[in-house]
Amino acid sequence: MAKMTPRKKSKIGLSRSKPKRVPAKRKALSGEAVASTSRPKGQATKSAFAATKPWTNAEVAEAFRRLQAAQPEPKGELLHANAFTLLVAVVLSAQATDAGVNKVTPTLFALANTPEKMVALGEEKVRDLIKTIGLFRTKARNIIALSQKLIELHGGRVPESREALEALPGVGRKTANVVLNIAFGAPTIAVDTHIFRVGNRTGLAPGKTPLAVEEKLLEVVPPAYVRHAHHWLILHGRYICVARRPLCEKCIIADICKYPGKTVYTTAKALEGTSNLEA
């Protein structure tokens, strides 16, 4: 009788396959992590609206008193020579940095600092001069178009009304607010990414959209400080209350700020003037 040999166990049967780990980056690309990684443009994440104690009127006034003391006459960082070049510079700054815009505007404005000269320069030449800026083709087209509108409807002058400004190609509410504030001294507050972050992070003006933050700021900022509030807040967000890690140790309003994740701020500079909060 033949001797039976034991059957070899299949290696496949013995092995247990482990589920492969999918890198987060690949998950996002495949759509598996879309719900947690994407949100509508112009809106903040839920974490940005964690419940914080509202600022008192005295705290708001004290914060702006300090910001004013540090920079009595704040200036915008976009280079310009008149209301028209300011308008063009702000249009160019959309989805671009002020530093990047300032690299191209001196040459552009040397050739065209009025709507008439800009139209004469032409879209192709404007496009070549600003090609290092994002969306340069669309921006060149808008700059020529708005220059034509200024000549046709406003005698070559930049209008002083929001409605007229927002009717120009490439001009939205934020751009109109900047021009009205800087060129004409209007008490407007243009909310960009920096001010949006500062308003929500500090609890000064929480809101889910730029417009909501703007309206809240206009509600809480004392009238005496509204004129320069835009500049103080944008500079504060750009250099102190930065996106990755706020420099709370250098912040002059850190003791007032309601941000729960703020870092140590116990410096004499930060605590200076806190006695005024009792008012």
192 is catalytic: yes
Pick the catalytic residue from 139, 192, 216, 255: 192
Sequence-distant (6+) residues with CB within 8 A of 150 are 84, 115, 156, 157, 158, 168
Helices 136-154 + 83-92 axis angle, to 10: 150
Nearest to 168 by CA among 158, 178, 177, 155: 158
Contact yes or no for 133/139 (Cβ under 8 A): yes
**Calpha distance 59→63 (Å, rounded):** 6
- Whole-angstrom Cα distance, residue 84 to residue 150? 9
Q: Which of 3, 149, 174, 216 is catalytic?
A: 174
| Residue 176 to residue 168: CA distance in whole angstroms | 10
- Classify residue 5 by its DSSP letter: P
46 is catalytic: no
- Residue numbers annotated as active site: 174, 192
